[in-house]
Amino acid sequence: MSSSSLDLGISTLKEIMIHPIVMAGGRGERFWPYSNSKHPKQLLPLVTRKTMLEDTLDNIRNFKKSTPGSGKAPVRLIIGKNLEKPVKALVKKIPGVAVVAEPVGRNTAAAVALAARLIMREDPQGIMLVLTADHAIKPPEKFAQAMRAASLVAAEGKSLVTFGIKPDRADIGFGYIEVDGAAQRQRVEGLESYAALRFHEKPDKATAQTYVDSGRFFWNSGMFAWRVDTLWAQFQKHQPAVAKIFEAAGDLNPKGRNFAKQLAKIYKQLPEISIDNGIMEKADSIRVVVPQFSWDDIGSWAALERLHPADSQGNRKVGQVLTLDAAGNTLFAEEGLIAAFGVKDLLIVQTGGVTLVLPKDQSARLKELVKLAQQQKALAKFL
Q: How confident is the model over 81-101, as pLDDT tens digits? A: 989 999 999 999 899 999 999
User: Please, which residues bridge with residue 349 across strands?
Assistant: 332, 356
Give all domains of the chain, ordered by start, each with its CATH number. Answer: 3-297 (3.90.550.10), 302-382 (no CATH)
pLDDT value, residue 1: 42
Instruction: Please give the Cα distance from 35 to 43 (Å, whole number).
Output: 9
- Residue 265 backbone dihedrals phi, psi, to 5 degrees: -65, -40
157: left (phi over 0), alpha (psi -120 to 50) or beta: left
Is the pLDDT at 7 greater than 60, yes or no? no
Instruction: Please give the Cα distance from 275 to 23 (Å, whole number).
Output: 12
For the chain, percent of residues with pLDDT exceeding 90? 77
DSSP characters over 150-205: HHHHHHTSS-EEEEEEPPSS--TTS-EEEEETTSSEEEETTEEEEEEEEEEPPP-H
Instruction: Please give the Cα distance from 24 to 81 (Å, whole number).
Output: 11
Torsion 289-293-297-303 (CA) sign: positive
Mean pLDDT, rounded, for 219-247: 97
The larger pLDDT score, comparing residue 71 to residue 303, is at 303
Torsion, Cα 25 30 35 40, to 10 degrees, reads -10
The pTM for the full model equals 0.90
Instruction: Please give the Cα distance from 108 to 113 (Å, whole number).
Output: 8
pLDDT value, residue 5: 54
Q: How confident is the model over 289-310, as pLDDT tens digits? A: 999 999 998 888 888 888 889 9
Mean pLDDT, rounded, for 234-242: 98
pLDDT value, residue 181: 76
Is the pLDDT at 288 greater than 90, yes or no? yes
Select, from the ranges 9-18, 36-45, 122-131, 374-383, the one with the highest average predicted confidence (pLDDT). 122-131
